Amino acid sequence: MSSTADQTEFQKEPEAPATVTDPGDTVILPEEAPSAGAGDPKLPGDAEVPKSDEKLTKSDEASDSDPKANVELNNAEATEELIRPNELKKDEEGSRTFTMRELLDELKNGDANEDSEAQRREGDTPHSQRSSQHHTDSNAALELINSVTGADEEGRSRQRILTYAARRYATALERNQEDYDALYNWALVLQESADNVNPDSTSPSKDSLLEEACKKYEEATRLCPTLNDAYYNWAIAISDRAKIRGRTKEAEELWKQATKNYEKAVQLNWNSPQALNNWGLALQELSAIVPAREKLTIVKTAISKFRAAIQLQFDFHRAIYNLGTVLYGLAEDMSRTGGAVNAKDISPNELYSQSAIYIAAAHALKPNYSVYTSALKLVRSMLPLPYLKVGYLTSPPAGNPLAPHSDWKRSQFVLNHEGLQQISKVDQRHMSRGLSSNSPAMSPSREAIKVDVPDIISVSACADLTLPPGAGLRIDTIHGPVYMIADSWESLDWWLDAIRLVYTIGARGKSDVLAGIITS
């Protein structure tokens, strides 16, 4: 049988602020940001699912270090995960950008190499005279950076490095106004300085530094329209400005600008799960401000971005978690408005259950993230314990994938940490009376279909004329392909995500964590 793969995944973010800081050698450090809340959730203890507010670093996903998270379970708004790239790569003959570590090393070694480096940069880029306006802008930016003082000794030390870097980029721009690398790096320095502003300081304001950074990103992208990193970090700066303004009309316009820049960054570099994740978060923030009639469309678009992020990186726990929280918020909205609009819409209870699957998966991948742990405690009861997912699929008789369409039957399947298995009619009657965490695990009959996680090679949607009509699901295993039909294309998406997540968790050696979630 021929088939076509169509992989889709997604995640969500809960509704109380949390701060997670991860190590990484990046120019811009992680920081928290407020995001859209989903109202008053109907969860045990009247608590809300916490939202992920981590800003990611480029090396974070490769790091196994345990982050420290401060989770506050209340009705506060969620925060946005942001990733700020290390450095921008250019042609070998062009000027290059510098990581913060390089600048720190140079500062420690003194300025001995600065003259030679400046000569190299001058020789590598065309020389041009700066305008009086450019001179004024440079002085204004330097004045802002010079007036920043860190909150502690570490902050002050870091600010000295940032000031040093700013002067370096100002000098490069004096030699060549069209040095877009220098503009890009200077914008990063301004952005980092904004994060370094003492909370008690009134001058300069964080917003002033971010506004200046946005100007430099805008100029850099004008000079080099393919500078995807600049669009990406520009969107982060705009998002930070929007957060300062709360849920105002001005913030709404800024969030719209941020989404447009994330879109441009993704167009220039489609292989960026972090950019897709941030795009989804910006849309989620926007959905909390726009009129109610526009909210559902924006939320669905955010869901698609999280799923696209997970499709690029199946173990991207932040996107998985954010998708879970978006679905949770959507379930809350539907509950308040009276449930599904029509019979074809997924019910709030189904959304709650699906939300719990993503949050559980995120926790299984990163069990030491306290924000995930707290969220799981709130939504675990929404899972069909002792399983992760229970639902219907149409399948052929076990061992006969080429059976006539008339022999394919719709039956119940369960998914847990071990795999996917078909349930007998006796067990289906037992399940119809309700599952609980104390329910014994059921065994499939000898003639039932069973797919073990270690046997899975890939999972995809498929369309094949030899299959019954409908949303086809193909699971390639070491024993050959297994075909089934979901009740709808939306239902297929849920099955694809759930099976892939279980497979990914197993591949990462975390099956025991997932088992503990659904069976303890």
What pLDDT sits at residue 516?
Answer: 96
Q: State how far the Cα of 411 lies from the Cα of 393, in Å rounded to an integer.
A: 6
3-state SS assignment for residue 21: strand
Cis, bond preceding 204 (omega within 30 deg of 0): yes
Q: State how far the Cα of 306 lies from the Cα of 82, in Å rounded to an integer.
A: 14
3-state SS assignment for residue 361: helix
Q: State how far the Cα of 335 lies from the Cα of 41, in Å rounded to an integer.
A: 10
- pTM of this prediction? 0.75
Tell me how far apart the terminal alpha carbons of the chain are, to the nearest angstrom.
41
Show the 3-state SS of 221-258.
HHHCCCCHHHHHHHHHHHHHHHHHCCCCHHHHHHHHHH
- pLDDT tens for the 520 residues of the chain, in order: 443 333 333 333 334 323 232 333 333 323 333 333 333 333 333 344 555 444 433 333 333 333 323 222 222 233 344 344 433 333 333 344 445 555 555 544 544 344 434 333 333 433 344 444 454 556 666 667 666 666 666 767 777 788 777 788 888 888 888 889 989 998 998 898 888 777 666 667 889 899 999 999 999 999 999 999 999 999 999 999 999 999 999 999 999 999 999 999 999 999 999 999 999 999 999 999 999 889 999 999 999 999 999 999 999 999 999 999 999 999 999 888 876 555 567 889 999 999 999 999 999 999 999 999 999 999 999 999 999 999 999 999 988 888 899 999 999 999 999 999 999 765 555 555 444 444 444 554 557 999 999 999 999 999 888 899 999 999 999 999 999 999 999 999 999 999 999 999 999 999 999 999 999 8
Domains delineated in the chain: 389-430+446-519 (2.30.29.30)
DSSP string, 302-324: HHHHHHHHHHH-TT-HHHHHHHH
3-state SS assignment for residue 123: helix
Q: State how far the Cα of 325 lies from the Cα of 77, in Å rounded to an integer.
A: 12
Q: State how far the Cα of 234 lies from the Cα of 371, in Å rounded to an integer.
A: 27
What pLDDT sits at residue 17?
Answer: 29
- DSSP annotation of 83 reads B
Q: State how far the Cα of 87 lies from the Cα of 412, in Å rounded to an integer.
A: 51
